[in-house]
Amino acid sequence: MNGLRPSLNRLAGKTAIVTGAAQGIGASIAEVLAHEGAHVAIWDVQPDAGSSTAKRLSERGLRVSYVNVDLTDAIGVEEAVSATSVQHGGPHILVNNARRPFRGDLLSQSLDDWDQEIELLLKAVFHLSRCCIARMKVLGGGVILNVSSVAAFLTTPETPAYHAAKGGITELTRYLACEAGPSGVRVNAICPGHVLKTEQAGKPAAWQEFIRGIVPLRRVPTSIEIGYSVLLLCSDDASLITGQSILVDGGLGLIEQAQLLRNAGMAGKWK
Ligand SMILES: NC(=O)c1ccc[n+]([C@@H]2O[C@H](COP(=O)([O-])OP(=O)(O)OC[C@H]3O[C@@H](n4cnc5c(N)ncnc54)[C@H](O)[C@@H]3O)[C@@H](O)[C@H]2O)c1
């Protein structure tokens, strides 16, 4: 599974930071942005996976580097922004993508876990964004793209802190867009639904069939396609788009309620 389209070199001369890019959706975003000509700094807390992703992409001639950083270490983040800027210029683009595994539901998520989830998904996004906005102001502009989730709009069986954080990202995106707009910085969020990550190509056929059946576009969205939606919003083609949180889900968010009503035998009976 690759899915890359011919490069138009739309990001030549740009430096992009992609957080949580050692694996998953972040690795695909890094791949697409680098394929479009950007230098991509892969920021992640996993040195082995981060280095191996950087090596895999570099071997294909893409300009990428791995930076070992824990996004919840505020001083470390400030130092890493400076180092990336000195070594590669920019940053012109920041993609806030990192996340941690879900732990617990309404009654079982510990308060400590709630704090850690909010710290990574909300506080760290705020801190890194303002560090980058300070640089982007000097550069005359830039783009911030937050990878949120349909969980910002739909109730799904993830942890309560994940929902609260992704809902918060919608408002943080709007706030940052207003504050940073006069400096030429655009800020948007994408909200993916179910995604087949490149390393999950072998995910059970039954899961893929189920997703295909409920997504209006009748296919399983891939992480490379998520990368292309990030590219769109980070490119000059989106020069007037800011402050938006856009569902990138093949239409999943449109039908969830109708599907539930149908499953419950309530379709057509709801007034
Ligand atoms: N996977 C999906 O189906 C899906 C659906 C909707 C939204 N999303 C969103 O997409 C984004 C990526 O999801 P994914 O499933 O690819 O994630 P993933 O779990 O595969 O990867 C997350 C990455 O973040 C890194 N990370 C975690 N804590 C960190 C820290 N403190 N400092 C630096 N890096 C850290 C991890 O090491 C990992 O490489 C997330 O924001 C998620 O909410 C994913």
Kindly list the structural domains of the chain, giving each domain's residue range(s) and its CATH number in brackets, ordered by start.
Answer: 15-201+222-255 (3.40.50.720)
From 23, 25, 214, mutation site for ligand 1 pocket: most ligand atoms within 8 A of C-beta = 25
Cα–Cα dist 185/181, whole Å: 5
| Residues whose CB falls within 8 Å of the CB of residue 267, separated by 6 or more in sequence, listed in order | 258, 261
Centre of ligand 1 from the C-alpha of residue 269, in Å: 40
- Give the number of residues written for the chain: 271
From 53, 99, 113, mutation site for ligand 1 pocket: most ligand atoms within 8 A of C-beta = 99
Residue 124 to residues 105, 127, 152, 167, 181: CA-CA distances in angstroms?
22, 5, 18, 15, 21
What value does the mean pLDDT take over residues 217-226?
96
Cα–Cα dist 63/77, whole Å: 22
* pLDDT tens digits, 60-119: 999 999 999 999 999 999 999 999 999 999 999 999 999 999 888 999 999 999 999 999
* pLDDT tens digits, 160-172: 999 999 999 999 9
Point out the ligand 1 atom lying closest to the alpha carbon of residue 46: 37
Name the pLDDT band for 257 (thresholds 50, 70, 90).
low
pTM of the predicted model as reported, rounded to 2 decimal places: 0.96
Point out the ligand 1 atom lying closest to the alpha carbon of residue 100: 27
- Indicate if 162 belongs to the active site: yes
Centre of ligand 1 from the C-alpha of residue 39, in Å: 21
Point out the ligand 1 atom lying closest to the alpha carbon of residue 124: 31
Name the pLDDT band for 269 (thresholds 50, 70, 90).
low
pLDDT of 201 = 85
Residue of 66, 162, 175, 228 marked active site: 162
Centre of ligand 1 from the C-alpha of residue 27, in Å: 10
Question: Which residues have CB under 6 Å of ligand 1?
Answer: 19-20, 22-26, 44-46, 69-72, 97-100, 120, 147, 149, 192, 194-195, 197
Centre of ligand 1 from the C-alpha of residue 20, in Å: 6
Residue 162 to residues 105, 151, 170, 200, 204: CA-CA distances in angstroms?
10, 8, 13, 22, 25
Centre of ligand 1 from the C-alpha of residue 75, in Å: 22
Point out the ligand 1 atom lying closest to the alpha carbon of residue 121: 41
Give the torsion sign (CA, 149, 155, 156, 161).
Answer: positive
Is the Cβ–Cβ distance between 234 and 147 less than 8 Å? no
Name the pLDDT band for 151 (thresholds 50, 70, 90).
very high
Name the pLDDT band for 260 (thresholds 50, 70, 90).
low
